[in-house]
Amino acid sequence: MHQLQKDSNRQSDETTSVSELKELVSEFVSERNWEKFHTPRNLAVSVTLEAAELLEHFQWAPPGDETIDDHRHQQISEELSDVMAYLLSLANVLKIDVASSMRAKMQKNRKKYPVEATLGTWKKPTE
């Protein structure tokens, strides 16, 4: 059994690395012999489908009403985890280092959306 599974009550974002999560997902897939189904296309489609399920929890909410009770919070957490699992599996298949990729993308975003041009507005700097 994977260490994260054994110690699931003690794990948090602060104590778990991206690498550990990628390994957790990889083990889950491997235990079921699902590697043959985890193609980049299938995983990208699955990310989109799971993201749509996450979005359903916010559909038809009255404007300004984002009240989330404990039950709804748990459901949202599970859907977010489904999205993350497929993203991590896609990263495994494509051999993407998530941390370095994320840092590089955020650096690119900092240049594309400079604070002085975007502070407090949803508009892109080119609009």
Helix-strand-coil percent breakdown of the chain, rounded to 5?
65, 0, 35
pLDDT-based confidence at residue 127 (cuts at 50, 70, 90): low
Looking at per-residue confidence, does 113 or 64 come out higher?
113
Residue 42 has pLDDT above 60, yes or no: yes
Whether residue 9 is predicted with pLDDT greater than 70 in this model: the reply is no
Flag the least confident range among 9-23, 43-57, 76-90: 9-23
Mean pLDDT score, 44-62:
92
pLDDT at 64: 74
- CA 16, 17, 23, 25 torsion-angle sign: positive
What does the alpha-carbon distance between residue 71 and residue 123 come to, in Å, rounded to a whole number? Answer: 34
